[in-house]
Amino acid sequence: MNTKQILYDVLSLTDKQLAQFIKNKKIKDSIQETRKRRESMLCKTYELKIQTNRCSKRTLHTLEMMFLEWKRYKQALIDNDMKDTNIIKTGKWIEYEMSWLSWQMKQEVRKSFLSAIKVLQKLKTKWHKIWKIKNTQCAAIWLKQYWITYKLFFWNKNRWYVKIQKIKQKLPVSWMKQLHWIDEIANATLIKQVDWYFVHVTCYIEKPQKIQKKVIWVDVGMKNQMILSNKTVLTFKQLWLPRKEHRKLSKNNNPKNEREGEANDSINKRKD
């Protein structure tokens, strides 16, 4: 029997549900593989600066609106005024349709909000003092998946660019020389500091192999010239020079002779 027939019999799923089930299973398997692969790797973050002077007015406006919409979406989650996934309330009667943030960006905001609630719930059970969740000014937008929410690539005269979802222009980036020795790129965060924008990229690098240093003992004897602690015997021939050549070398290398020669030269110099 085929796997499709087994799933039909056991789970009694429709074609649509079966396709979704297979897709979820593939995603689960790929996540487990990446986790196993990254266990033996080093995790590092690198900061890249977006060159705002080379960006158009439209892109700068979209970046500002993305951060503003992030704040509005979080406020809607706190107030619990979510009618739909794309429509939020900004006031008592005003409704606002979200169009600047992508689905994955919204998903990350929701995840962070739910994790904060769970932390507060645990603290409450242990009789700790709890505070209200406040909507602070947005400083970072999470870019979840590489090559879908954002991309890094060469383009136009060997310059590095970043492509982010919901932004049409390819954003020029500096400080990219840091990422030359990287094996794998993971998620990133878009950060705003006053009027500057940065992308913090998390990367994985293979761990360098540790060189094991060993101490070797040396024994000099009459029978064998040199014996090591590994029980390896070393033999070498001694170089014998003739007497004349040996004297020449000793004269040249003697520092006393050099000083005497310099003194004689200074005496023998002709005084003009």
At 116-152, the pLDDT tens digits run: 888 888 888 888 888 777 777 667 899 988 989 999 8
Cβ–Cβ under 8 Å, residues 170 and 162: yes
Mean pLDDT, to the nearest integer, of 23-50? 90
Cα distance between residue 209 and residue 190, in whole Å: 33
Structure confidence at residue 15 (pLDDT): 76
Q: Following CA atoms 48, 54, 57, 61 in sequence, which dihedral angle do they give, to the nearest 10 degrees? A: 0
Mean pLDDT, to the nearest integer, of 75-99? 70
Q: What residues have CB less than 8 Å from 233, skipping those under 6 apart?
A: 224, 225, 226, 227
Q: Degrees (nearest 5) of the Cα angle 174, 177, 182?
A: 125
pLDDT grade for 159, boundaries at 50, 70 and 90:
confident
Per-residue tokens: 84: 């739909």
Asked if residue 272 has pLDDT above 50, the reply is: no
Cα distance between residue 179 and residue 162, in whole Å: 13
Structure confidence at residue 66 (pLDDT): 92
DSSP label at residue 146: B
pTM above 0.85, yes or no: no
Of 3-12, 68-77, 153-162, 185-194, the range with the lowest mean pLDDT is 3-12
